[in-house]
Amino acid sequence: MITPHGLPLRRGDAGDAVRDLQHRLALIGYAIDGDSTEFGTETEASLRRFQSDRGLVVDGICGPQSWNALVEADHRLGDRLLYYRDPMMRGDDVAELQRGLGQLGFDPYWVDGILGPRTHRAIQQFQHNVGLPDDGVVGRSTIEALHRLTVRTAGQVTIAEVREHERLRRQPNRIEGRRIVVGDTGDLPVIAQAVARRLRQLGADVLTFSTPDLSRQARTANQWNGDIYLGVTLAVDNFGISYFAMSGFESVGGRALAQRCSAALGACLPEPVPTRAMRLSILRETRMPAVWCRIGPGETVVPQAAHIGRALTDATADWCLNPGLP
């Protein structure tokens, strides 16, 4: 997805890029009163509401992640042809397609709004089963067949959710040999390395990252075939432990791990660190239970680094022994 020059946009900015931002917000129900090219308090408030509703970091600043989410939110199933390509197509229409396929038993693997190779195969399998050319291109005939059949399965859980439940139920109740990815954005390497070191001492295989490129972290974690991902970053606000969820899908393993981490950090930090269902790229693009820990402020976190590292290690090890599924 191509993002425009001039990002991030924030209060006080003005010009065509701000007008485009306001137009996109209005198209999906976050209208700004009046006609202005200035990024004022109303634009910021609308953007914050959108960020909150979409499971993004709520900072009132339109960076690449918020911009891409705005573009994706404008797509409805049937607005365009969907097919597998490079770069992969993304949007709410893809997520709706994945939910429908998953409810019918065709496995896109993840409901993330990204049309990757597994979604492509699920499309072909569905088309073959309903007697359509299995070319993997989602046009009017495929959408009509999908709508006709999913009317009977409204509200049914997707195969992606069922598969994650089963995968977690079958996992070995031990930490030895588990493949755990630990990442940070470069601002809390002491904590990330402490967690990695302690997990290795407990017998886990650990892969570590220290880079702000979260999509790169996700790609490598997937290629390494990790069992779980734990990430930490230093934040000035919006503190919390997030896991992946979007309309019609939730990573139950990620939620359980986030709850363990939140409870463990409660003993180290003066303020509670709540769990949040979010769509951050690192959560959305990993193909495993994943959590992203936004902790701070620095004057609180840094002196407690050793305790925080121990708490996150204990929470991860406890989850490996028993993910606590319902």
Going by pLDDT thresholds of 50, 70 and 90, the confidence category of residue 153 is: low
Neighbours of 304 (CB within 10 A): 17
Q: What's the pLDDT at 191? A: 96
- Tell me the pTM: 0.89
Taking residues 133-150, report their average pLDDT: 96
- The amino acid that residue 118 corresponds to is R
Mean pLDDT estimate for the chain: 92
Q: What's the pLDDT at 271? A: 85
Going by pLDDT thresholds of 50, 70 and 90, the confidence category of residue 159 is: confident
Q: What's the pLDDT at 167? A: 85
- Whole-angstrom distance, CA of residue 30 vs CA of residue 250: 25
- Whole-angstrom distance, CA of residue 303 vs CA of residue 300: 6
Per CATH, which fold does 16-73 belong to?
Muramoyl-pentapeptide Carboxypeptidase; domain 1 (1.10.101)
Q: What's the pLDDT at 163? A: 83
Query: What tens digit of pLDDT does each residue of 89-122 get?
Result: 999 999 999 999 999 989 998 899 999 999 999 9
Q: Is 171-321 in the same CATH topology as 16-73? A: no
Decide which of 262 and 33 is more confident: 262
Q: Is the per-residue pLDDT at 3 higher than 70?
A: no
- What is the percentage of the chain residues whose pLDDT exceeds 90? 81
Domain limits, the chain: 16-73, 92-165, 171-321
Report helix, strand or coil for 245: strand
- Point out the least confidently predicted range of 29-38, 82-91, 185-194: 29-38
Q: Is the per-residue pLDDT at 326 higher than 60?
A: no
57 CB-near residues (< 8 Å, 6+ apart):
51, 65, 238, 278, 280, 294
Q: What's the pLDDT at 6? A: 78
Q: What's the pLDDT at 228? A: 95
Going by pLDDT thresholds of 50, 70 and 90, the confidence category of residue 169 is: confident
Q: Is the per-residue pLDDT at 243 higher than 90?
A: yes
Radius of gyration from C-alpha coordinates of the chain: 21
Q: Is the per-residue pLDDT at 262 higher than 80?
A: yes
- Whole-angstrom distance, CA of residue 65 vs CA of residue 67: 5
Decide which of 191 and 6 is more confident: 191
- Whole-angstrom distance, CA of residue 215 vs CA of residue 284: 9
Taking residues 209-234, report their average pLDDT: 95
Contact 298, 234 (CB under 8 A): yes
Query: What tens digit of pLDDT does each residue of 184-207 get?
Result: 999 999 999 999 999 999 999 999
How far separated are the first and last CA of the chain, in Å rounded? Answer: 37
Q: What's the pLDDT at 249? A: 87
Q: What's the pLDDT at 1? A: 52
Q: Is the per-residue pLDDT at 306 higher than 60?
A: yes
Q: Which CATH number fits domain 171-321: 3.40.30.10, 3.40.630.40, 3.40.190.10, 3.40.1590.10?
A: 3.40.630.40
Q: Is the per-residue pLDDT at 4 higher than 70?
A: no
CATH superfamily entry for domain 92-165? PGBD-like superfamily/PGBD (1.10.101.10)
